Amino acid sequence: MGEDVMQSLTPGQHVIKIVHEQLTELLGKQNEKLNISPKPPTVYMMAGLQGAGKTTFCAKLGQMLKGQGKKVLLVACDVYRPAAISQLKTVGKQAGVEVFEEGQGDPTKIAKNALKFAEKGAFDTIIVDTAGRLHINAELMNELVQIKKIVNPVEILLTVDAMTGQDAVNVAREFNNTLDITGVILTKLDGDTRGGAALSIRHVTGKPIKFAGVGEKLGDIEVFHPERIASRILGMGDVLTIIEKATAAVSEQEMKVLEKRMRENAFTLEDFLVQFDQVKKMGNLDDIMASLGNMTGGKMKSLGKLDESQMARNKAIIQSMTVKERRNPEILKASRKQRIANGSGTSIQEINALLKQFEQSKQMMKQLGSMGGKKGKGMRGMF
């Protein structure tokens, strides 16, 4: 109530914008970085159920921290799951970090020995891969509590599978109640899941989501960005991106004037010159056109990449024309083009490319003009 609708947005778009802002607020506003111990080594304890991608994420995190100049040691305390130790050794080798393991012994003793090994080897970062289960039980939790007492981690990171939906919330609640986790890692966000569980996990535990797993490769680790997940939950990432860019770049009045000129086939190179400035404000043309393509079932095709230096040259070309030439580009013959090329410091080939792009834009508007109703009108205005 009481919100003023921005000139360049419809009321419906403004509602989406407000909901997106509130979801982002609920998800934590911004990413929270990993804590670092004031006295080395910094210990990160990884927890989670089997199948959530915990062991692989140990290596992903290790590789990322190694890239930041840390000397990382992975510790194999998952002694129950078949091949868990060999898996950690394999992914650790791929990540280029050392792995400490003592076979299928007592996890608490392995944790103690790992600390001694890390001290001797001057490791400043330790990532402990603890045991998972198919479901939560008292035996698992007791073991994790004992390991926590031994390694005194600066962070306890819970790995949850984003595809399990609300089940992930129950898992997070149980682990948090027992271990008092410090952060959450959401894996498998590269699939069809919207990531709605992130909202509930954050609300139930009150703990930040720090990373997201977006693929199976070791480099597929991303810092968690609340605003991106909010867009994903809404399922309207493309629309939100366009709304934000249009809000900053173009007013509703400007869109209406431009739409009217295009509809009347009065679009000239003078209008095209204005568009270069507006496109520059909105960012990469390919990204914008890809977003529009997604919204129209892929019917819209990109006009090609247009970098800033190319835009500057195109602006110089148009600014080197007379008013008559800008409004009637069909009169541009060889002698006129040579004069314009000399005046703008460009070539005739670049002038021809610009004119071709201008014609493509007019053709694009004809396609949009054939789209009936409010959707067609909105697309013309957005373009």
CATH number at residue 147: 3.40.50.300
Residue with tokens 């609708």: 5
**Inside any domain, residue 21:** no
- Say if residue 295 is in the same domain as residue 378: yes
Report residue 203's pLDDT band, with 50, 70 and 90 as the boundaries: confident
> Binning pLDDT at 50, 70 and 90, where does residue 187 land?
confident
CA dihedral 38, 41, 42, 45 (to 10 degrees): -150
- 6 part of a folded domain: no
Please check the confidence at residue 359 and state whether its pLDDT lies above 70: yes
Residue 358 near residue 329, CB atoms below 8 Å: yes
Q: Output the six-digit token pair for 335.
A: 């002698």
Q: Are residues 374 and 275 in the same domain?
A: yes
Last residue of a domain, one of 224, 259, 275: 224
d(CA 300, CA 238): 14
Torsion of the alpha carbons at 91, 96, 98 and 103, rounded to the nearest 10: 20
pLDDT at res. 239: 57
Confidence of residue 135 (pLDDT cuts 50, 70, 90): confident
Return the pLDDT at 361.
77
Task: Establish if 13 belongs to a structural domain.
Answer: no
- Tell me the average pLDDT of the chain: 81
Among 113-122, 182-191, 274-283, the least confident range: 274-283
CATH code where residue 327 lies? 1.10.260.30
Q: Per the domain annotation, does 197 fall within a domain? A: yes
* 53-81 tens-digit pLDDT: 899 999 999 999 999 999 999 999 999 88
The mean-pLDDT minimum among 64-68, 146-150, 324-328, 379-383 falls in: 379-383
The residue-averaged pLDDT of 37-49 equals 91
The more confidently predicted of residues 193 and 336 is 336
Is residue 58 in a domain? yes
Is residue 235 in some structural domain?
Answer: no
State the residue range of the domain holding 339: 250-382
Q: What is the mean pLDDT of residues 274-293?
A: 60
Looking at residue 232, its pLDDT comes to: 77
316-341 pLDDT per residue, tens? 999 999 999 998 889 999 999 999 99
46 shares its domain with 157: yes
**Higher model confidence: residue 91 or residue 234?**
91
Q: What CA–CA distance (Å, rounded) separates 132 from 50? A: 5
Looking at the fold, whether 257 and 183 belong to one and the same domain comes out as no
Band (pLDDT 50/70/90 cuts) for residue 304 is very low
Given this model, what pLDDT does residue 300 score?
46
pLDDT value at position 91?
Answer: 94
Same domain as 291, residue 152 = no
Same domain, 336 and 218: no
Do 40 and 164 reside in the same domain of the chain?
Answer: yes
- Which range scores top for mean pLDDT: 123-127, 199-203, 361-365? 123-127
Please tell me the distance from the alpha carbon of residue 372 to that of residue 32, in angstroms, as a whole number. 46
Distances (CA, A) of 12 to 191, 296, 323: 29, 18, 40
What is the arithmetic mean of pLDDT over 253-257? 67
Q: Worst-scoring range by mean pLDDT, 16-25, 216-225, 273-282?
A: 273-282
Share of the chain above pLDDT 70, in %: 75
Looking at residue 308, its pLDDT comes to: 65
Give the count of domains, the chain.
2
| Non-local CB neighbours of 184 within 8 Å, separated by 6+ positions | 157, 158, 159, 160, 172, 201, 202, 205, 207, 208, 209, 210
Report yes or no on 121 lying in a domain.
Answer: yes
Write out the two tokens for 358: 């201008």
Looking at the fold, whether 367 and 218 belong to one and the same domain comes out as no
* 242 within domain boundaries: no
Between 195-204, 229-238, 290-299, the lowest mean confidence (pLDDT) is in 290-299
For the chain, where are the alpha helices, taking DSSP H only?
Answer: 11-26, 54-67, 84-95, 107-120, 138-151, 166-179, 197-205, 226-234, 237-249, 252-263, 269-282, 285-295, 308-319, 323-327, 334-344, 348-369, 373-382
The stretch 71-94 carries a mean pLDDT of: 92
- Residue ending a domain, among 224, 259, 289, is 224
Distance from the first to the final alpha carbon of the chain:
30
Q: For the residues 151-162, what does the mean pLDDT come to?
A: 91
Whether residue 275 sits in one domain with residue 127: no
Tell me the pLDDT band of 47, cut-offs 50, 70 and 90.
very high
Task: State whether 316 and 359 are in the same domain.
Answer: yes
Q: Over 70: is that where the pLDDT of 197 sits?
A: yes
Residue 285 vs residue 26, higher pLDDT: 26
* Same domain as 330, residue 286: yes
Based on the fold, state whether residues 188 and 258 are members of the same structural domain. no
